[in-house]
C-alpha cells in the first residue's frame, strides 16, 4: 500500500501548482456567469450590491421574489445569509428605491476540498499510472493538479491526458530510486488541499496479463497441447533483455477442480505433455518480473479452451469427468496428471505395440489349436487301427484247426 504523507508536505510543490493553475482557475469557476459568488455550506455568506452608491438603501430579491424565506441581515448594500443551505443557492439581485436593477449575483454553495483516495499501479518499468477519488463531494467546480518528486529532486508533472478524468501517468520513472512521492492537489473556488502518498516502485510492480494466447493440438499426440502467447502490450519486447518475465501456466480438464502448473522464464510457449485424452481443457497464464523479488504476479489471463488431437475414428468426450474414486465409501481427490501416463511416454507408439502383441498372441493361439487338432486326429486314427487288429486276432482264434 502506498504510504500516506501529511498535507503540510504539499507546500514543497504548492508554488509550482499555484503558478500553473492561475489561468485555469479563472476559466473554470468564473466563466459561467459574469457575477458568481461562492460560499461555504453551513457558514455565514455576505453578498454586496456592487452597483449601489455607498450608504444607499437597496432592496434584495431572490430569483425575482422580494420575500426572502430564511433568516437574513440587511445593512444598506449588504445581505448576510446566516447559515447557508443548498436551497439558498440561486440568483440574488439588488434594486434601488425605484426598483431599478443594480446587480445580479449568482450564489453557489459547497465545501472546501478534502483529501482524496489515491492508488497507483505499475504495469512495467517505464510507466506508473495513478488515479484518485474524492472522499467528500464539494458541489463546486473542481480542478486537480498532479505531480511527483524523488528525494533530492524538484517536482515533475504527472501527466493528465484529460482534465476531467482523475488519472495521470508518470512516464519513464527513475528506476534508480524505488520510492517516490505522488502529490494530488484538489482545488476549488474556496481553497485547495493536497494528498501526498509514497509509492514503492518495486513493491507495486505488477505486469498486465499476457496477450494473444493461442493453443494448438499436436497431430497424432492425443495427450499434448502447445500453448503460445505474447508479452503484455505494456511490457515491450525490448524489455526482455534487461527485464525478463517469468510466466506461470495452469490447465485442467473441464469437470476437474484441480489445476496443474507449469513455469517458464523468458519464453512465450509451453507444451503440455499430460493432457487428458479427448477432453476439453481450460488454460490460463500469468506473468511477473523475473529479477525483482517483490514483483507481484499479474492477474490470470482470460480462459482459453482447447482439446488435444483426437483420432478421427474416435468420438470426443463431452461429458464432465469425475476426478475422484471411492474406497470403503470414502472419496479421495485425484489430480488429472495422476491419471495420465508418464509424460515422456509416446502413447501413439504404445498403442501400436499393444496391437502387434495382440496379433502375435492370436497367431500363436491359432497355431497351438491347429497342432492340438492334428494330434487328436492322429491319435484317433491309431486307436482305430489298433481296434481293427484286435478284432482280426479274435476272429482268427475262433477258426477251428
Which CATH number characterizes residue 76's domain? 2.60.40.10
Share of the chain above pLDDT 90, in %: 41
pLDDT tens figures, 114-135:
999 999 999 998 899 999 999 9
pLDDT at 26: 38
Strand ranges (E), 242-280: 245-253, 260-265, 269-272
Do 247 and 298 lie in a common domain?
yes
Kindly tell me if the per-residue pLDDT of 335 is higher than 50: no
Domain around 54: 42-110
Tally the C-alpha atoms within 13 A of residue 152's C-alpha that lie toward its C-beta: 4
Question: How are beta strands 45-48 and 78-81 bridged, if at all?
Answer: antiparallel
Do 131 and 119 lie in a common domain?
yes
Do 225 and 301 lie in a common domain?
yes
Residue that terminates a domain, selected from 291, 306, 321: 306
Classified as helix, coil or strand, 161 is coil
Q: Is residue 190 part of a domain?
A: yes
Residue that terminates a domain, selected from 87, 110, 133: 110
Number of domains in the chain: 3
Do 243 and 300 lie in a common domain?
yes
- H-run or E-run covering 382: helix 347-397
Kindly tell me if the per-residue pLDDT of 272 is higher than 90: yes
Residue written as grid cell 476426478: 323
| 365-387 mean pLDDT | 83
- H-run or E-run covering 18: helix 11-29
Q: Is residue 34 part of a domain?
A: no
DSSP per-residue string spanning 208-247:
PPPEEEEEEEPTT-TT-EEEEEE--TTS-GGGTTTS-EEE
CB 120 within 8 A of CB 204: yes
Q: Is residue 67 part of a domain?
A: yes
Residue that terminates a domain, selected from 270, 289, 306: 306
Do 123 and 11 lie in a common domain?
yes
pTM value is: 0.66
Q: Is residue 345 part of a domain?
A: no
pLDDT tens figures, 33-55:
458 999 999 999 999 887 767 66
DSSP conformation class of 41 = T
pLDDT at 210: 95
For residue 75, CA distances in Å to 59, 81, 130, 163 come to 10, 12, 50, 42
Q: Is residue 93 part of a domain?
A: yes
Classified as helix, coil or strand, 118 is strand
Lowest mean pLDDT among 253-262, 273-282, 359-368, 380-389: 380-389
| 331-356 mean pLDDT | 52
pLDDT tens figures, 177-187:
778 999 999 99
CB 253 within 8 A of CB 336: yes
Whole-angstrom distance, CA of residue 210 vs CA of residue 288: 10
Kindly tell me if the per-residue pLDDT of 1 is higher than 50: no
Q: Is residue 315 part of a domain?
A: no
Do 90 and 141 lie in a common domain?
no
Do 118 and 193 lie in a common domain?
yes
Share of the chain above pLDDT 70, in %: 76
pLDDT tens figures, 276-322:
999 999 999 999 998 887 789 999 999 999 999 998 876 555 555 55
3-state helix, strand, coil in the chain (%, to 5): 20, 35, 40
Do 219 and 289 lie in a common domain?
yes
Whole-angstrom distance, CA of residue 196 vs CA of residue 2: 10
pLDDT averaged over the chain? 79
Position with higher pLDDT, 158 vs 70: 158
Whole-angstrom distance, CA of residue 28 vs CA of residue 119: 26
Position with higher pLDDT, 395 vs 364: 364
Do 74 and 220 lie in a common domain?
no
| 353-362 mean pLDDT | 85
Do 8 and 144 lie in a common domain?
yes
Confidence category of residue 400, pLDDT binned at 50, 70, 90: low
Do 260 and 291 lie in a common domain?
yes
pLDDT at 206: 94
| 317-335 mean pLDDT | 45
| 363-380 mean pLDDT | 87
The CB density around residue 278, as the number of other CB atoms within 10 Å, is 19
Q: Is residue 158 part of a domain?
A: yes
pLDDT at 325: 42
Biggest alpha carbon–alpha carbon distance for the chain: 185
Confidence category of residue 5, pLDDT binned at 50, 70, 90: very low
Lowest mean pLDDT among 163-167, 200-204, 244-248, 396-400: 396-400
Backbone angles phi, psi at 15, to 5 degrees: -60, -45
Do 266 and 247 lie in a common domain?
yes
Kindly tell me if the per-residue pLDDT of 250 is higher than 90: yes
- H-run or E-run covering 359: helix 347-397
DSSP conformation class of 55 = T
pLDDT at 398: 53
The CB density around residue 176, as the number of other CB atoms within 10 Å, is 6
Q: Is residue 368 part of a domain?
A: no
DSSP conformation class of 354 = H
Residue written as grid cell 499436436: 218
Position with higher pLDDT, 47 vs 348: 47
Whole-angstrom distance, CA of residue 44 vs CA of residue 37: 13
Amino acid at each position: 500500500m502506498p504510504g500516506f504523507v501529511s498535507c503540510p508536505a504539499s507546500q514543497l510543490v504548492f508554488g509550482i501548482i499555484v503558478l500553473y493553475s492561475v489561468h485555469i482557475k479563472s476559466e473554470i469557476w468564473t466563466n459561467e456567469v459574469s457575477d458568481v459568488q461562492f460560499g461555504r455550506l453551513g457558514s455565514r455568506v455576505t453578498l454586496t450590491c456592487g452597483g449601489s452608491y455607498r450608504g444607499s438603501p437597496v432592496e434584495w430579491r431572490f430569483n425575482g421574489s422580494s420575500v426572502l424565506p430564511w433568516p437574513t441581515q440587511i445593512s444598506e448594500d449588504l445581505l448576510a445569509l446566516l447559515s447557508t443551505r443548498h436551497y439558498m443557492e440561486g440568483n440574488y439581485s439588488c434594486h434601488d428605491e425605484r426598483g431599478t436593477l443594480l446587480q445580479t449575483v449568482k450564489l453557489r454553495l459547497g465545501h472546501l476540498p478534502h483529501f482524496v483516495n489515491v492508488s497507483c499501479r505499475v504495469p512495467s518499468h517505464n510507466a506508473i499510472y495513478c488515479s484518485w477519488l474524492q472522499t467528500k463531494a464539494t458541489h463546486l467546480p473542481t480542478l486537480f493538479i498532479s505531480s511527483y518528486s524523488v528525494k533530492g529532486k524538484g517536482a515533475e508533472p504527472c501527466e493528465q491526458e484529460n482534465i476531467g478524468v482523475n488519472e495521470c501517468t508518470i512516464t519513464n520513472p527513475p528506476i534508480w530510486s524505488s520510492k517516490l512521492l505522488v502529490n494530488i492537489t484538489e482545488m476549488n473556488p474556496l481553497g485547495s488541499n493536497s494528498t501526498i502518498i509514497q509509492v514503492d516502485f518495486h513493491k507495486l510492480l505488477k505486469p498486465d496479463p499476457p496477450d494473444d494466447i493461442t493453443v494448438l493440438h499436436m497431430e497424432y499426440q492425443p495427450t499434448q497441447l502447445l500453448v503460445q502467447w505474447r508479452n503484455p502490450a505494456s511490457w515491450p519486447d525490448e524489455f526482455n533483455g534487461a527485464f525478463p518475465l517469468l510466466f506461470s501456466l495452469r490447465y485442467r480438464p473441464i469437470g476437474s477442480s484441480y489445476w496443474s502448473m507449469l513455469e517458464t522464464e523468458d519464453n512465450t510457449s509451453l507444451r503440455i505433455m499430460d493432457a487428458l485424452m479427448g477432453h476439453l481443457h481450460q488454460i490460463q497464464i500469468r506473468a511477473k518480473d523475473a529479477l525483482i523479488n517483490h514483483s507481484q504476479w499479474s492477474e490470470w489471463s482470460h480462459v482459453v479452451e482447447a482439446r488435444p488431437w483426437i483420432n478421427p475414428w474416435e468420438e470426443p468426450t463431452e461429458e464432465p469427468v469425475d476426478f475422484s474414486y471411492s474406497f470403503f465409501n470414502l472419496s479421495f481427490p485425484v489430480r488429472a496428471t495422476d491419471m495420465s501416463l508418464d509424460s515422456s511416454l509416446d502413447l501413439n507408439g504404445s498403442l501400436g505395440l499393444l496391437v502387434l502383441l495382440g496379433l502375435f498372441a492370436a497367431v500363436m493361439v491359432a497355431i497351438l489349436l491347429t497342432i492340438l487338432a492334428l494330434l487328436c486326429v492322429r491319435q484317433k486314427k491309431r486307436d482305430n487301427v489298433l481296434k481293427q487288429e484286435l478284432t482280426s486276432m479274435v476272429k482268427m482264434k475262433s477258426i477251428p484247426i
